Amino acid sequence: MESLRGQLLIAGPGLLDPNFRRSVILVGEHGEEGAMGVILNRPSPVSVADAVPPLADLVDEGELVHVGGPVQPQAIVVLGDFGDRTEAASLVLGSIGFLPGEIETAADIASLSRARVFAGYAGWGPNQLEEEIEEGSWILESAIPEDVFTAEPEHLWSVVLRRKGGAFAVLALMPPDPSSN
């Protein structure tokens, strides 16, 4: 399978693991050694200013830390939109990439136009993600920058499925708890 970097993983309806149920993940790295990404649609109740004050200048006032995944939940991962792509530690989608670990203030990256802060990340070992895709746990879709920085992350799962179209657009209408329908 070719690299899925920059693709979205949309949780299929049968994926009931509470860590990933109805999640949308941006794949940041994918290769022979495995894959990693961040969940785009899980804002926490904690603001960046309260959780990691040094990064507060990178985001809009009141911006929340997002739960990036269950792996290393104390680790901070930051995705940013770079005017100068060489400032990114690695690019994921166009001008969007990961901030280098040594960044301490917004002044360290002059070309950063926007950023999102994540606690933790999602990770897969060698061939694990490919197997999960094959079994139907994940639906693939191309990411767009608006997915990463959506103002309404709680609707992203449905928005991306509608964009994919066909039977996926119908799936987007599924309520969070189908038994209550």
Q: pLDDT (tens digit, 9 = 90+) per residue, 26-60?
A: 999 999 999 999 999 999 999 999 999 989 999 99
Encode pLDDT of 129-169 as tens digits: 999 999 999 999 999 999 999 999 999 999 999 999 999 99
Domain residue spans in the chain?
7-180
Encode pLDDT of 53-110 as tens digits: 989 999 999 999 999 999 999 999 999 999 999 999 999 999 999 998 776 666 678 7
In this predicted structure, the answer to whether residue 12 has a pLDDT above a threshold of 70 is: yes
The CATH classification of domain 7-180, taken from the options 3.40.225.10, 3.40.640.10, 3.40.1740.10, 3.30.1330.10: 3.40.1740.10
**Per-residue pLDDT at 100:** 87
**Per-residue pLDDT at 104:** 62
Question: What tokens were used for 72?
Answer: 């290393």
| Residues forming a β-bridge with 24 | 10
The Cα 118–Cα 125 span in angstroms is 21
Q: How many CA atoms lie within 13 A of 32 on its CB side?
A: 0
Residue 57, burial from CB neighbour count under 10 angstroms (0-12, 13-18, 19+): middle
3-state secondary structure of 33: coil
In contact, 83 and 111? CB cutoff 8 Å: yes
**Per-residue pLDDT at 101:** 79
The Cα 44–Cα 148 span in angstroms is 15
In this predicted structure, the answer to whether residue 173 has a pLDDT above a threshold of 90 is: no
**Per-residue pLDDT at 108:** 72
**Per-residue pLDDT at 110:** 78
